[in-house]
Amino acid sequence: MKYFLLIFFLLILGCSSNDDGSNSATGINPPSWIQGVYLQEISGQVLPVGYEFKTNDFCTIASFTSCNKALLDMYDGDSNFETNVHEEIDSNRYSIEITLGSIINKYEFIKSSNTSIKQILITGDEAFYTLQ
C-alpha cells in the first residue's frame, strides 16, 4: 500500500524532463515503440498502477484511468487557462511535459526492452513498467 500511495503521489506531481524537443499547443503524440498499457512492476509483482500511451493521448492509471487529451481539449482556446504540451521523442526515450493552468506535469521514460520501460522520477530514482 505504501508503494501505491507513493506512485499515486508521483503521478499527481509529475516527473522530470529536459527542455529540448518539440512543442505543441495541445497535441500528444507518443512514439509507436511506447504505445500500449504499462503497469508498474516491483519485485516481480505487477501493480495496478501505470500508464497508457495511445497514438494521440497519454493516460495515467491508478485507481482509475485519467487521460490528458480530454482535459487539454476541454480548456483549449480558453484565454484564462493555459494549456501546452512539450514532447521530446527519440528511438529509446520519450519525455512529455503537460501544462494545465498552473500545474505542470513532467514525465520521462526510457525504453528498457520491447516490453518494458523505466520512468526517471524527479528524485532521480527509477520505476519500472511492463507492457500488458
- Predicted pLDDT at 79: 86
Q: What is the pLDDT of residues 34-88, one digit of tens each?
A: 999 999 989 989 999 999 999 999 999 998 999 999 999 998 888 889 999 999 9
Residue 117 and residue 58 in contact, taking contact as beta carbons nearer than 8 Å? no
If one counts every other C-beta atom within 10 angstroms of the C-beta of residue 32, the result is: 9
DSSP-based helix, strand, coil % in the chain, nearest 5: 15, 50, 35
What would the grid cell of residue 24 be? Answer: 505543441
- Predicted pLDDT at 12: 42
Q: Which residue has the higher pLDDT, 78 or 15?
A: 78
- What pLDDT band is residue 25 in, cutting at 50, 70 and 90? low
- How is the chain split into domains, by residue range? 2-131
Residue 59 and residue 66 in contact, taking contact as beta carbons nearer than 8 Å? yes
Residue 95 and residue 18 in contact, taking contact as beta carbons nearer than 8 Å? yes
- Predicted pLDDT at 44: 86
Continuous segment of H or E residues that includes residue 103 = strand 103-113
pTM: 0.79
Continuous segment of H or E residues that includes residue 125 = none
What rounded mean pLDDT belongs to the chain?
84
What span, in angstroms and rounded, lies between the C-alpha atoms of 11 and 9? 5
